[in-house]
Amino acid sequence: MRIIPTKIHGILDYVMGLLLIAAPWIFGFAGDGTETLIPVILGASTILYSLFTNYELGISGKISMKTHLAIDLVSGVLLAVSPWLFGFSEYVYLPHVILGLTEVAAVLLSKTQPEHFPGKSDYNRRNTSHAV
């Protein structure tokens, strides 16, 4: 059941991106290792690809919502398994697992099409088809 509108998902994207970037300092595991780099890189990339998503809070519409959700899913799973995949589970794992599974849940609950929002690519296609 997909109950999260794309506009709300967009807000969650930017909040999650910022939270992931700040997580190592908020939760006290900041260092020079992959335990810090993984959430920071995933957070920054979340913000970046959200800017290019075809939804209410994107600026270019180059990435479809379905593709965006697929990237979110991969990102969430990677984040959740990263403590064991990269060998830092003895040091920290709970923030990575909780935030990763939260991202997966958001994917499973989010709508795949914006409501009442003409996609930028649809808008461009409609307006350029009338050119002489």
Tokens in use for 58? 């994107």
Q: Which domain holds residue 26?
A: 6-128
| pLDDT, tens digit, 9 for 90 and up, residues 43-89 | 999 999 999 999 999 999 999 999 999 999 999 999 999 999 999 99
Q: Indicate if the pLDDT at residue 122 is higher than 70.
A: no
Residue 52 lies in a domain: yes
The reply to whether the predicted model has a pTM over 0.75 is yes
Alpha-carbon distance 111 to 78, whole Å?
22
| Mean pLDDT score, 8-32 | 98
> Is the Cβ–Cβ distance between 40 and 24 less than 8 Å?
yes
Q: Indicate if the pLDDT at residue 19 is higher than 50.
A: yes
Q: Indicate if the pLDDT at residue 128 is higher than 80.
A: no
Residue 42 lies in a domain: yes
Residue 85 lies in a domain: yes
Q: What residues does 53 pair with on adjacent strands?
A: 63
> Is the Cβ–Cβ distance between 57 and 117 less than 8 Å?
no
pLDDT for residue 116: 66
Tell me if residue 24 falls in helix, strand or coil.
Answer: helix
Tokens in use for 127? 């307006």
Cα–Cα distances in angstroms (integers) from residue 88 to residues 36, 108, 117, in the given order: 10, 28, 43
pLDDT for residue 129: 44
pLDDT for residue 115: 79
pLDDT confidence bin for 125, thresholds 50/70/90:
very low
Residue 1 lies in a domain: no
How many separate domains does the chain show? 1
